[in-house]
């Protein structure tokens, strides 16, 4: 009996002693955990030191891994019209489509390879929306309207509106990101009559047709067309382990594992440009029924706006057409994407320009000047996102300034 008990004890002791390979395995596991933990802590601590495009990829990772919010930077998670998150906090508005939060101070925007800070002011005390501009000064010379391209996806001092305002009197920039022509016209009707500018500059961008269509669905009974072009971000929102751990998201980004399939990277003029994937028609093409709807609405709204401004405040209207990034680089992209695809990108812009010319509108088509700047070695657009960079904004400054002086639209008071 004693022998059996002793044998059992020996066997139990032997079972309790790990083999060499088992000890190595558990030590390796513990070391891997320590390395991962240190890497995660350092990645979070050094967030602000990463390049802008890395920060934009990491910003939607959860601040606390086991909580769904808040995120590493973006304090306003959510999705509006398909955007993965709101780069700038705003509310939906039935008339103006969106309105920014007023009184923002030093709000950081990280988007692709662009990063900048935003302050907003109210057009008058008590107004519900915020605008990225200086406080209004009277008498007001110019009020500008548009989307991200007029709001400017740059630091404030690099914005074309800011630079022109330094030359030509008092300006107020009423641009709202994400809006289309219909939402912008709704804002014109609200804030132009009380402020009485001498000139309204209204910038149109290639996705405004789509945004006008989406606005119509939001506020009316317009039936949706078959329109599945996604509104995408160069930094898709993180999911799974990438949503919980900065280190996982960082490694996936560096290895190219979380690239959005709606984009492709191409080499142009010794640059790697991120452009839309070409498996389907370009988002600006009139092949999409929604864009044809937006074109019809834009023509009508520009006519209405010109008459409204003349009747209410005696102001002139100047329209600026800003093309899609891929159209500006069409010469360089034609061989890669095909002549037919590239030609279709500008169908909406060309149709709108023809309408404006035929109906006597004051307008500027920025395409030739932006193309010339690219040929002259300027970058014009960011590498990784679709917006004008500081050099592209400088092109608009010179283009608009030349028009203002040539047409004497802002004579001395």
Specify the pairing of strand 316-322 against strand 362-365. Answer: parallel
pLDDT score of 68: 60
Residue 163 lies inside a defined structural domain of this protein: yes
Given a cut of 60, is residue 8 above it in pLDDT?
no
Residue 283 lies inside a defined structural domain of this protein: yes
Residue 66 lies inside a defined structural domain of this protein: no
Q: Which residue has the higher pLDDT, 398 or 73?
A: 398
Specify the pairing of strand 271-276 against strand 263-268. Answer: antiparallel
Q: Which residue from 172, 160, 164, 161 is spatially nearest to 136, judged by alpha carbons?
A: 172
Q: CB within 8 A of 286, min separation 6: which ones?
A: 292, 295, 344, 347, 348, 351
- Helices 181-195 and 208-219 meet at what angle, rounded to 10? 80
Say which DSSP state 295 is in.
Answer: H
Residue 245 banded pLDDT, cuts 50, 70, 90 = confident
Given a cut of 80, is residue 178 above it in pLDDT?
yes
**pLDDT 10s digits, 84-124:** 345 788 888 999 999 999 999 999 888 888 889 999 999 99
Residue 82 banded pLDDT, cuts 50, 70, 90 = very low
- Cβ-based neighbour number of residue 302 at 10 Å: 22
**pLDDT 10s digits, 264-308:** 899 998 899 999 988 889 999 999 988 999 999 999 999 999 999
Say which DSSP state 371 is in.
Answer: H
Given a cut of 50, is residue 57 above it in pLDDT?
yes
The mean predicted confidence, pLDDT, of the chain is 87
Q: CB within 8 A of 338, min separation 6: which ones?
A: 278
CA distance linking residue 162 with residue 134, whole number of Å: 9
pLDDT score of 108: 87
Residue 77 banded pLDDT, cuts 50, 70, 90 = very low
pLDDT score of 286: 94
Residue 153 lies inside a defined structural domain of this protein: yes
Residue 228 banded pLDDT, cuts 50, 70, 90 = very low
Say which DSSP state 101 is in.
Answer: P
pLDDT score of 110: 83
pLDDT score of 170: 97
Q: CB within 8 A of 361, min separation 6: which ones?
A: 302, 306, 317, 319
Give the CATH number for residue 362: 3.40.50.1110
Residue 82 lies inside a defined structural domain of this protein: no
Residue 78 banded pLDDT, cuts 50, 70, 90 = very low
Given a cut of 70, is residue 225 above it in pLDDT?
no
Q: At 212, which helix (H) or strand (E)?
A: helix 208-219
Q: Which residue has the higher pLDDT, 216 or 185?
A: 185
Given a cut of 50, is residue 81 above it in pLDDT?
no
- Count of domains observed in the chain: 1
> Above pLDDT 70, what percent of the chain?
87
Residue 222 banded pLDDT, cuts 50, 70, 90 = low
| Burial environment of residue 238 by CB neighbours within 10 A (0 to 12, 13 to 18, 19 or more) | buried
Of the listed ranges 51-55, 69-73, 137-141, the one predicted with least confidence: 69-73
**pLDDT 10s digits, 342-393:** 999 999 999 999 999 999 999 999 999 999 999 999 999 999 889 999 999 9
> Above pLDDT 90, what percent of the chain?
61
Range of the domain at 268: 90-235+261-407
pLDDT score of 67: 64
**pLDDT 10s digits, 181-190:** 999 999 999 9
CA distance linking residue 64 with residue 42, whole number of Å: 15
Residue 161 lies inside a defined structural domain of this protein: yes
- Cβ-based neighbour number of residue 186 at 10 Å: 18
Q: 176 and 99 in contact (C-beta within 8 Å)?
A: yes
pLDDT score of 220: 77
Q: Which residue has the higher pLDDT, 205 or 241?
A: 205
User: DSSP for 313-364?
Assistant: T--EEEEEEE--HHHHTHHHHHHHH-HHHHHHHTHHHHHHHHHHHHTT-EEE
Mean pLDDT in residue range 154-175: 97
Residue 94 lies inside a defined structural domain of this protein: yes
Residue 78 lies inside a defined structural domain of this protein: no
């Amino acid at each position: 009996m004693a022998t059996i008990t002793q044998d059992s004890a020996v066997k139990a002791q032997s079972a309790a002693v790990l083999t060499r390979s088992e000890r190595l395995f558990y030590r390796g596991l513990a070391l891997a955990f320590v390395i991962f933990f240190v890497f995660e802590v350092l990645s979070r601590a050094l967030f602000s030191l990463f390049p802008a495009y890395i920060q934009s990829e990491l910003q939607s990772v959860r601040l606390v891994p086991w909580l769904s919010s808040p995120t590493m930077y973006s304090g306003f998670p959510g999705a509006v019209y398909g955007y993965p998150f709101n780069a700038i906090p705003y509310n939906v508005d039935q008339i103006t489509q969106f309105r920014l939060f007023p009184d923002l101070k030093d709000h950081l925007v990280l988007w692709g390879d662009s990063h900048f800070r935003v302050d907003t002011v109210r057009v008058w005390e008590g107004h519900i929306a915020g605008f990225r501009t200086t406080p209004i000064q009277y008498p007001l010379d110019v009020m500008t309207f548009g989307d991200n391209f007029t709001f400017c996806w740059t630091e404030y001092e690099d914005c074309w509106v800011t630079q022109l305002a330094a030359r030509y009197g008092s300006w107020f920039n009423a641009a709202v990101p994400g809006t289309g022509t219909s939402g912008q016209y709704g804002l014109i009707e609200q804030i132009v009559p009380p402020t009485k500018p001498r000139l309204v500059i209204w910038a149109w961008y290639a996705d405004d047709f789509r945004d006008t269509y989406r606005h119509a669905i939001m506020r009316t009974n317009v039936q949706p067309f078959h329109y599945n072009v996604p509104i995408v971000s160069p930094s898709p929102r993180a999911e799974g382990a990438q949503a919980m751990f900065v280190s996982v998201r960082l490694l996936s980004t560096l290895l190219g594992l979380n690239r959005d399939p709606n984009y492709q990277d191409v080499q142009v003029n010794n640059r790697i440009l991120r452009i839309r994937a070409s498996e389907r028609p370009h988002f600006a093409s009139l092949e999409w029924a929604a864009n044809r709807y937006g074109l019809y609405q834009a023509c009508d709204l520009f006519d209405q706006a010109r008459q409204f401004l003349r009747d209410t405040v005696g102001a002139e209207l100047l329209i600026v057409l800003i093309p899609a990034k891929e159209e500006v680089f069409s010469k360089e992209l034609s061989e890669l994407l095909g002549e037919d695809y590239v030609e279709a990108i500008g169908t909406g812009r060309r149709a709108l320009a023809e309408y404006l010319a035929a109906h006597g509108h004051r307008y500027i088509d920025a395409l030739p000047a932006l193309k010339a700047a690219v040929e002259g070695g300027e970058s014009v657009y960011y590498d990784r996102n679709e917006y004008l960079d500081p050099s592209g904004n400088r092109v608009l400054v010179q283009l608009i300034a030349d028009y203002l002086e040539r047409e004497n639209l802002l004579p001395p008071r």
